[in-house]
Amino acid sequence: MTTKKRFAKLTALLLSLFLLFTVTACSNGNNKTTDASTTSNTAWTKNYKESMKGTTINLYGVTDAIIPVLDAFTADTGIKVANLTLQNGEILQRIKNEKDSGTVVADVWFTGGADTFINASESGYLEKYTSVEDANIPSEMKDANGYWYGTSLTIVNWVVNKDMIAELGIQMPTKWDDLLQPQLAGLVSMPDPASSGTAYNTVSAILQTRGDATGWAYLDKLIQQVPYFTARGSDPANNVIAGEAAIGINAGTGDKSLEVNNPQVSIVYPTDGTGWWPQPVAILAGCKHPDEAKVFEDWLLSKRGLEEVAKAQKALVVRDDVTVPDGLLALADIKLFPTDFKANATQRVDILAKWNEKVSQK
């Protein structure tokens, strides 16, 4: 490819990104601003300057549910946020291409899988930064080297059909071994770990908690309880609601609305622990607005910012001083498995290869 063609291709890419960001920014067009010096919980203002008002930072994320959070940030700071929503893998590939081309478009990455953020940090795509809120974020909820911080939590739970459990004549399951009861054979619904972060985090967490040999021995038995592995993480809950499965392995945020809207089901968080992962935020290396990106990260991790996250996403968050919104469980009521997210990322290929081999022999 000639230099001229390469330049034309890059120009077209940047133009398309500009248009995407411009359109998406309209949904973050809150022009009401609050004097940053008068807002509560103002540790985040340490790096803030009045001259930042009117600046627009670009943000990649995996969900539009964060838009109210971005609007609140703009109201507090006057800094606008143009949000582009993509899948995890798409974001990772995009920031790789941008870094390789020398033209980094986004300033911040907010929401996604922790393993993807780890891959990005190890590839040099993220900027190391110690937030002014660092002391308020538990060590297990952030990268030890300062490349990313967790914000809200995604937690593995079970959706259980109470009517089917009663018909089977068994007690409500509370521990992982309860899924292995003979009465539940063919009635446990689980996503495919190759396509579902919920399922992969479940498998990885069990292996980390029980150890390789004991963990795989358990998973061998669990595989036999599942008639087929669904393509999407949301399918097991739907199967349970429809009465096609008694138990579905599911991802939740602590929100109870699923069982409120479907009285035949209960949401169960295993008492012996469960898999989980944080929804991280990070600054992209080589971004155009690093100072504003730091302010965004500081604000987001503040009590004020995470209150907005909890409200917008109906999710538990990493700070214990944030009031839990109505309809959410308290994080203290859920036992989380100790999790090595770096191992989650580095062992993924080997774990999935072994898993697929076992499923093929079922």
Task: List Cβ neighbours of 249 (8 Å cut-off, separation of 6 or more).
Answer: 156, 158, 188, 189, 190, 191, 198, 199, 202, 236
pLDDT score of 69: 98
pLDDT score of 26: 40
Q: Which amino acid is located at 361 in the chain?
A: Q
**Which long-range contacts does 92-96 make (Cβ < 8 Å, 24+ apart)?**
92/116, 92/119, 92/120, 92/125, 94/60, 95/60, 95/120, 95/125, 95/284, 96/123, 96/125
More confident residue, 38 or 137: 137
pTM to 2 decimal places? 0.76
Return d(Cα 122, Cα 309) in angstroms, integer: 27
pLDDT score of 127: 98
Query: Residue 335: which of 279, 276, 273, 290 has the closest Cα?
Result: 273
Query: Residue 153: which of 338, 326, 319, 342 has the closest Cα?
Result: 319
Question: How large is the average pLDDT for residues 274-279?
Answer: 93
Question: How large is the average pLDDT for residues 274-295?
Answer: 97
Query: Residue 119: which of 86, 149, 92, 99 has the closest Cα?
Result: 92
Q: Return the percentage of the chain with pLDDT > 90, whole number.
A: 71
- For tokens 């398309």, what's the residue? 16
Return d(Cα 236, Cα 298) in angstroms, integer: 37
Q: Express each pLDDT in 160-213 by its tens digit.
A: 999 999 999 999 999 999 999 999 999 999 999 987 888 998 999 999 999 999
Question: How large is the average pLDDT for residues 109-118?
Answer: 91
Question: How large is the average pLDDT for residues 235-259?
Answer: 94
pLDDT score of 41: 59
pLDDT of 3 strictly over 50: no
Q: Are 67 and 42 in contact (CB under 8 A)?
A: no
Confidence band, pLDDT 50/70/90 cuts, at residue 345? confident
pLDDT score of 153: 92
More confident residue, 17 or 222: 222
pLDDT of 330 strictly over 90: no
pLDDT of 86 strictly over 60: yes
Q: Express each pLDDT in 16-74 by its tens digit.
A: 444 444 434 444 544 444 445 434 457 899 999 999 999 999 999 988 989 999 999 99
Please list the residues that pair with 251 across neighbouring strands. Answer: 156
Return d(Cα 284, Cα 108) in angstroms, integer: 6
More confident residue, 254 or 148: 148
Helix, strand counts (H, E) of the chain = 13, 10
Q: How far is CA 149 from the centre of its chain?
A: 11
Question: How large is the average pLDDT for residues 221-227?
Answer: 98
Whole-number average pLDDT of the chain: 88
Torsion of CA 74, 78, 84, 85, to 10 degrees: -10
Confidence band, pLDDT 50/70/90 cuts, at residue 255? confident
pLDDT score of 142: 95
Collapsing DSSP to helix, strand or coil, 267 comes out as strand
pLDDT score of 250: 94
